[in-house]
Amino acid sequence: MLTPEHILGASGRIAARLPNYEERPQQLEMAAAVHESLAQGEHLIVEAGTGVGKSFAYLVPAILAASEGGDVKRVVISTHTISLQEQLMAKDIPLLNSVIPREFTAVLAKGRRNYVSLRRLGAAASRGDSLFPDDAEAEQLRDLVAWSQRTYDGSLSDVGFKPRAGVWDEVASDSANCLGKKCRHRDECFYFMARSRIHNAQIIVVNHALFFSDLALRRHEVSVLPNYDAVVFDEAHTLESVAGDHLGMGVTNGQVGYVLRKLFNDHANSGLLVHHHLIEAQQATTACQIAADHFFDDLKRWHEQSANGRVMAPGVIGNQLTPMMKQLAEQLKLAAEGMKDASDKKDLNSAETRLTVLADEIEAWRTQQLEDAVYWLEVSRRRTGAESVKLAAAPIDVGPAMRSQLFDKVRSVIMTSATLSTGDSFDFFQSRIGLSGCRTVSVGSPFDYQRQAKLVLVRGMADPGSQRELFETQCAEMIKRYVLRTDGRAFVLFTSYQMMRTVAKRLQPWLIEHNYPLHSQADGTPRSAMLREFLRNPRSVLFGADSFWQGVDVQGDALRNVIITKLPFSVPDQPLLQARLDAIKEAGGNPFRDFQLPEAVIKMRQGFGRLIRSQDDEGIVVVLDPRMTTRPYGRAFIQALPDCQLIEEPFIEDGVDEFAG
């Protein structure tokens, strides 16, 4: 019988294929644990340090289990980031396919709206100016028509350019706008061909968002993914956050406005209702647009009077919008019944469904129909200057839903990440996802952190809580010191955009003077574009917030320095966090000890983990927050980090020292 060691061991099949292959004991230990858990039908949490080669350690036993004809027929592999998905599909799985002496099929599953609908594309092209009076959008539509005739899989990632949201929305595959077997494009439909591949696959790679969207649908006996016997979650430290997003609800004024404008845009005299000459429905749409403006204006006024946007009781404002949207939906339904063309009928029925779903969700939020959830309102300003209003709700505790819908139903769930424990315990992670009595394994990293990394703590800095402005001024000076020390090649990680903007403004002249290119996430540049620019110039400095603390892999000399400005405690006045802390307190727990501290420790470990990504990497991690040494809980952060050289250095006013350069 094949085992992971036959594939991953020193004399295994990968070693026979790759001349410089080195066996990793930690990888074999993890692979053996995953192999056993899949065979026994048990859940497993496995923390594996950076460099272990986690993907092979779970892919090999997953492939072996799914291909040997036993109880495990299909395994879902779920990741948080697209970059890891791409690595699995483009590198890891093809290599394993070439060395494992068994036939198996592996596919990447994407959400339905990632695929173009040939019927909808043709219908959009035939409507011409009534749909897209904007020349740029009309040109994109023509480009998509040409692309559709040469694409391999018909998915958004194959387009070659980024279509505008409004254009893609008009041509994307959509369950509510699908003719099914009646469609003349059914045999060449990209979505149905992809679904067929997924239903025949033994290994399905997805992202966490799609996985939990599917899990939420299964509550209503609907699903996107086929049934599976086991799930492997890589980057599992993000599970609570992603699960909360998809098991809750969210509606924005932008969504409502967009759906109504697609029906009728009176400024451009365009939209579906113009195409079908439905005058009364156009008037009803205009009335809905006015009602939507009033509804969201009322919410904004309410928000101005609230402390943090948390909605403690149902019915904070009235709602004329939902009944008006439902009345409009009924008009569309009646209009559809009078259509002879199946495609036209489907377009109107789809619009009716969209309106009804949005109308129901608005009222469900307003009346707080989701039980054991926290409700809140977010008001922000888009880059265009327009205000965005979001109605949001999420479960206070995702544990019960994950337990009943996932852990109690799926034979084996494997969860892995480099950062799942606090101290020597997985209790915090397990409590947050609702899993107890589970097997846990921890394997260390093969990296020599004593040789490769130094942890630098700065003494004498102002307290960031009681002396915020002075602390931010001092941070700018210390960033100069450590950027000079490594001649750029630095990530500076922040816990707030406000501080990032303040420090960037203060440092910009100095960085220009010393020829250090600055890439700041506060500018709104996408993360992938920032990374490309950072790698292009070896003296770059990158200012990043939440998304740069995790899931970013920069190897080699380009990154020699990670500066952590503040300990990554979540802001306790955020409504969801506030509700979770309140729930812990009501249950007799200590919110700081039981949630805020362990959550921050895990995030600190993620931030530290950006530095050493290979055996050859070297550098420093600098923590500017003085609480690492002045507060008793600082020891928990230090003990949670890899065993490396620990150096304490004093704050220096001008930021320059003898180590620079």
Quote the CA–CA distance of 133 and 265 in Å, as a whole number.
Answer: 10
Quick one: which of 439, 434, 461, 425 has its CA closest to 566? 461
In percent, the amount of the chain with pLDDT more than 90 equals 86
Question: With 90 as the cut, is the pLDDT of residue 558 above it?
Answer: yes
Above pLDDT 70, what percent of the chain?
98
CB of 75 within 8 A of CB of 471?
Answer: no
Q: Beta strands 541-544 and 518-520: pairing type?
A: parallel
Each residue's pLDDT tens digit, 256-266? 999 999 999 99
Which pLDDT tens digit goes with each residue over 210-236? 999 999 999 888 899 999 999 999 999
What pLDDT does 657 receive?
56
| Better pLDDT: 300 or 176 | 300
pLDDT tens-place string over residues 343-375: 899 999 999 999 999 999 999 999 999 999 999
The average confidence (pLDDT) of the chain is: 94
What is the C-alpha to C-alpha distance for residues 171 and 169, in angstroms, rounded to an integer? 6
Please state the rounded mean pLDDT for residues 83-104: 95
Q: What is the pLDDT of residue 20?
A: 86
Per domain, the residue ranges of the chain are 4-105+201-243+397-443, 112-194, 283-369, 449-650
The whole-angstrom separation of Cα 351 and Cα 176 is 8
- Which residues have a Cβ under 8 Å from the Cβ of 302 and sit 6 or more positions away? 316, 317, 377
Q: For the residues 185-198, what does the mean pLDDT come to?
A: 94
Q: How confident is the model at residue 656 (pLDDT cuts 50, 70, 90)?
A: low
- Separation of first and last alpha carbons in the chain: 57
Claim: this prediction has a pTM higher than 0.85 = yes
Which of 509, 504, 539 is CA-nearest to residue 525? 504
Given pLDDT bands bounded at 50, 70 and 90, which one contains residue 426?
very high
The class (CATH top level) of 449-650 is alpha beta
pLDDT bracket for residue 661 (50, 70, 90): very low
Q: What is the band of 166 on the pLDDT scale with cuts at 50, 70, 90?
A: confident
Average pLDDT on 1-27 reads 93
Backbone angles phi, psi at 397, to 5 degrees: -135, 115
Q: What is the pLDDT of residues 427-441, one digit of tens each?
A: 999 999 999 889 999
Name the least confident of 422-426, 440-444, 631-635: 422-426
Res 654: pLDDT = 64
What is the DSSP code string of 175-226? GGG--GGG-TTGGG-HHHHHHHHHHT-SEEEEEHHHHHHHHHHHTTT--SSP
Encoding tokens for residue 378? 């977010």
At residue 175, the pLDDT reads 87
Dmax (CA) of the chain: 82
Give the DSSP letter string of 511-576.
HHHTT--EEEGGGT--HHHHHHHHHHSTT-EEEE-GGGSSS----GGG--EEEE-S--PPPTTSHH
What does the block give as tokens for 636? 């928990």
Query: In the β-sheet with 249-252, what is the strand arrangement from edge to edge?
Result: 249-252, 387-395, 373-381, 310-311
- The DSSP secondary-structure symbol of 461 reads P
Asked if the 4-105+201-243+397-443 domain carries CATH number 3.40.50.300, the reply is: yes
- Mean pLDDT over 551-561 rounds to 93
Mapping DSSP onto H, E and C, the string for 277-289 reads CCHHHHHHHHHHH
